[in-house]
Structures are given as C-alpha cells and as structure tokens.
Amino acid sequence: MNNLGELASDSQTRNTTSKQSESVSLLQSAPSRSPLWLLIFPEGTITSDEERVKSVRYAEREGIDDLATMLHPRSTGLLFCLKTLSAKVPDLQLLDLTIGYPGVPAGKYPQDYYGLFSVFLYGVPPPTLHIHIKIYNMSEIPKDGETRDFELWLRGVWREKEQRLLDFFDRQRFDGEVEECVPIKQL
C-alpha cells in the first residue's frame, strides 16, 4: 500500500477509536468527519511570469483557451489522490478554494504585494482575504473512468474559477459573498 493509502487507513482507524476530550480540535470535532485533510495545489506552483509562459504553451498545445488569472491545473496528481483516498475514506469530499486579494490588480501576482518579506519581515499582510469555497462530493467527480474525463472536468472547474476571479477583480468581492470577518492578529 502507498503512503497516502496508509494515511487514509490510519485516519479512519483513529476516527473510530478516538475518544472525545475536553479540548477537541477542529479536525476531530465531528464524529462523522475523518481527521485527514490533504492540501494540494493542482497548478503545481504559484503564478509568475515564467510559469505563465508554460501555461500559455500548454494551452496552445492542447488547443484550449489560456487562463488570465491562474495557471492550468495538472490533473494526474489530484486524480491519484482522490482515487487513493476515496477507496479508504467513505465520506471524502473535495474542498475547492478560490482566494481573492483586494487591491491586487488583474494580471498582477498577489505574492508581489503580500509575499514572505511583506508579511513576515515588514509586517504588511493583506488587509483582508476573500475565500470562495465550493465542496464537491465524490459522486460529482469523474474519477473511475478515463483520465481524460477527469481532466476535462477539472478544466471546467478551472474555467468557473477563472470567471469568479475575473468578476472579483471588477467588484473586489465574490458573487453572493457572505461576509464573515475573522481577525488575524500578527504577533
């Protein structure tokens, strides 16, 4: 068994054998929720001028439109993770986050405004973050058929994210956004 499969199995074992304590963490707060979270960026890296060139070449090679606000996703790693985890985690879901940074103009990169130096050395974090969350149940995701079906599905998800970000640049908020401010204290 691969390491990802072992993690999934271990999380299910811990989930069924763990006892509730006074200080329950967010990851274990609901008995039906598996205490396993996997963070993956299907783009493979952050957007930069160099990576944009690669994304444009990929779009040309595939005969598809390029994306203006992000890089094209790489589907193989995500598909592998979903197949491996869904075999072990019965309530597996895919949580899709789209992050908008107010004040960063269209075509510019958030890390140029709020990078490691800005945040950690100069104490200048983004004033706010806007996060659009969409949850997909595994039944909505074509993972059992051809790899190409999953790739086309993921491209569709990215086209939706692209439109969402283009709209964000115009309005500086996501459509239908429910405002919930979570203060972040910088030490």
Q: Assess if residue 32 is contained within a domain.
A: no
> What's the rounded Cα separation, in Å, for the pair 173 and 167?
8
Output 22 or 180, whichever has higher pLDDT: 180
What does the pLDDT average to over 21-38? 52
Identify the sign of the CA torsion 68, 71, 74, 78.
negative
Question: pTM for the whole thing?
Answer: 0.81
- Per the structure, the complete domain to which residue 160 belongs is given by 38-171
108-128: pLDDT as tens digits: 999 999 988 888 899 888 888
Q: For residue 23, what pLDDT band results from cuts at 50, 70 and 90?
A: very low
Tally of domains within the chain: 1
Would the pLDDT of 138 be above 70? yes
77-102: pLDDT as tens digits: 999 999 999 998 888 999 999 999 99
Q: Assess if residue 84 is contained within a domain.
A: yes
What is the bridge-based pairing of β-strands 93-100 and 130-137? Answer: antiparallel
Would the pLDDT of 12 be above 80? no
Q: Assess if residue 57 is contained within a domain.
A: yes
User: Is the separation of the CB atoms in 111 and 32 below 8 Å?
Assistant: no
Q: Assess if residue 29 is contained within a domain.
A: no
Identify the sign of the CA torsion 44, 107, 64, 153.
positive
Q: Assess if residue 2 is contained within a domain.
A: no
